[in-house]
Amino acid sequence: MPEHLEQRIAENHYQLYSLHALSAGGEVFEKEGLRWTHAGTGHQGRILFPTMANDRASDLLNEMMVSYRQQPPDGIGCWSLQPAPEHLGARLLARGFQPGWQPCWMYLPLNVALSSFDANPSLTIVADNTTDITPLTALPYADAGTMISPRLLAAYPDRAQRFLAKLNGEIVGQSAVFFSDVAGIYNVGVIPAYRGQGIGKALTIATCVYAQEQGYDYATLNASDMGQPVYEQLGFKKLGDGMTWWMIGFKDVPPEEVAFAEAVACGQIDRLDRLTHGDLDKPIANGMTLVELAAYCHQPDAAEWLVRNGAAYTVLNAWDLGWLEKAAAMLSGSPQEVNRLYTEFQYTLMHIAAQRNDVGLAKLVIQFKPDLTIVDSIHCSNAMGWAQFFKRKEIAGIIAQG
């Protein structure tokens, strides 16, 4: 594994997001290991790979949120390597962020012959930083707000290069590369009607060839679950996973609510005893209940404190906290709980078991005769459909027996 490559990938992201903010008339801030960008209302703020000390984290994050409050952004994203700073996720959740996906960092050495394959002879890949692609609404990453934006391409032409894929003269895909001390690949996207023809592969190879010609030693990217196998076919190797958190819109959370939620999320029982609180069942700014927050952050002592002081909890909360006997007792005493719908997406316990591949949860749930015809509100699928989609054979067998 190349030494320090994850840090070099993080630096590539940091420089890109910083120039994106600056090209939009925004600012870049850095204080004691906390780095963030802010381009004002109409733009997304970014917190980039923070490394601040644990004893300073709360004060620094509060200061950052004050800076955002002056001109509230449309949302804020935080990126981190793993391991993240202690309690970073807990503190962000307390301030209204939600858990995000795990970026999959991948890399390709450029000192070797690059992969090739037979592409459609009508396909051409051209380097093009000037064509306006914003009207192509079906093309991923074509909107003006994308990170390698028209403004960034115009302001920093030596730092980024965009490539367009054309079939018979029609733009059908794009990719881009941003240079720091590695070549970071971004915005690989193909119009849905043209997918499955190797266009994304051709764009990625063209981008890597260009970076190789410029003398770079590594191409790097962040792959989705579906994209990872494709990039592996081109020779990319997985380096590791990152972490993200996202605030949708801007949430100005009162300091006392932040302090209490943070104490729960960090498991600071002595602090909970000192702080005042209101309704312990009222969801916090990101939609979680306090007990759910404690469960997500693996703080069973904080959850016990909440329950002792009157907070309610669900079967799923109990299961996630390791309170297995309590979860079973709740289902025995209130059989309707087996069909409770969770989150705005209306998942049942069995949906969740299938998603997580949690065989133990599935075995518990099936004992209480769940309604296996219930479908979620996003994919309109029952639990068996989820088990089949995720290839959870053991859970599918448990559902079939039910």
Tens digit of each residue's pLDDT (9 = 90 or more) over 320-363: 999 999 999 999 999 999 999 998 889 999 999 999 999 999 99
The reported pLDDT for the residue numbered 218 is: 97
Q: 173-208, pLDDT tens digit by residue?
A: 999 999 999 999 999 999 999 998 999 999 999 999
Which tokens go with 126? 């051209």
Which range among 10-24, 99-113, 141-155 has the greatest average pLDDT?
A: 10-24
Within 13 Å of residue 50, how many CA atoms lie on the same side as its CB? 31
Instruction: Give the 3-state DSSP-derived string for 286-322, with helices as H, strands as E and coil as C.
Output: CCCCHHHHHHHCCCHHHHHHHHHCCCCCCHHHHHHCC
The reported pLDDT for the residue numbered 294 is: 97
The reported pLDDT for the residue numbered 226 is: 75
- How far is the C-alpha of 244 from the C-alpha of 331, rounded, in Å? 34
Handedness of CA 231, 233, 236, 238 (dihedral sign): positive
Burial state string for 202-230 with b = 16 or more CB within 10 A and e = fewer than 16: bbbbbbbebbbeeebbbbbbbbeeebeeb
395, β-bridge pairs: none
28, β-bridge pairs: 37
Does position 402 have pLDDT exceeding 70, yes or no?
yes
Instruction: Please answer whether residues 38 and 17 qualify as being in contact, where contact means their C-beta atoms are separated by less than 8 angstroms.
Output: no
Angle CA 112–13–71, to nearest 5: 165
Within 13 Å of residue 176, how many CA atoms lie on the same side as its CB? 23
**Tokens 């927050």 sit on residue:** 293
DSSP 192: G
Q: Which of 208, 215, 197, 144 is nearest to 175 (CA)?
A: 208
Tell me the helices (H) and strands (E) count for the chain, helix number first.
16, 13
Helix (H/G/I), strand (E/B), else coil: 284: coil
Handedness of CA 364, 370, 376, 379 (dihedral sign): positive
Q: 123-167, pLDDT tens digit by residue?
A: 999 999 999 999 999 999 999 889 999 999 999 999 999 999 999
Q: Which fold, 107-238? A: Aminopeptidase (3.40.630)
- The domain locations on the chain are 5-105+243-255, 107-238, 256-313, 335-402
CATH number attached to the domain at 5-105+243-255: 3.40.630
Helix (H/G/I), strand (E/B), else coil: 361: helix
- How far is the C-alpha of 203 from the C-alpha of 234, rounded, in Å? 11
- How far is the C-alpha of 168 from the C-alpha of 123, rounded, in Å? 7
The reported pLDDT for the residue numbered 224 is: 82
Q: Phi and psi at residue 197, in whole multiples of 5°?
A: -115, 10
What is the arrangement of strands in the sheet containing 123-127, beginning at the earlier edge strand?
123-127, 160-167, 170-179, 183-190, 218-223, 104-109, 237-241
Domains 5-105+243-255 and 107-238 share a fold: yes
Instruction: Please answer whether residues 362 and 401 qualify as being in contact, where contact means their C-beta atoms are separated by less than 8 angstroms.
Output: no
pTM across the whole model: 0.90
Helix (H/G/I), strand (E/B), else coil: 279: coil
- How far is the C-alpha of 294 from the C-alpha of 262, rounded, in Å? 10
Is the domain covering 335-402 a CATH 3.40.1280.10 domain?
Answer: no
Which tokens go with 201? 């592969």
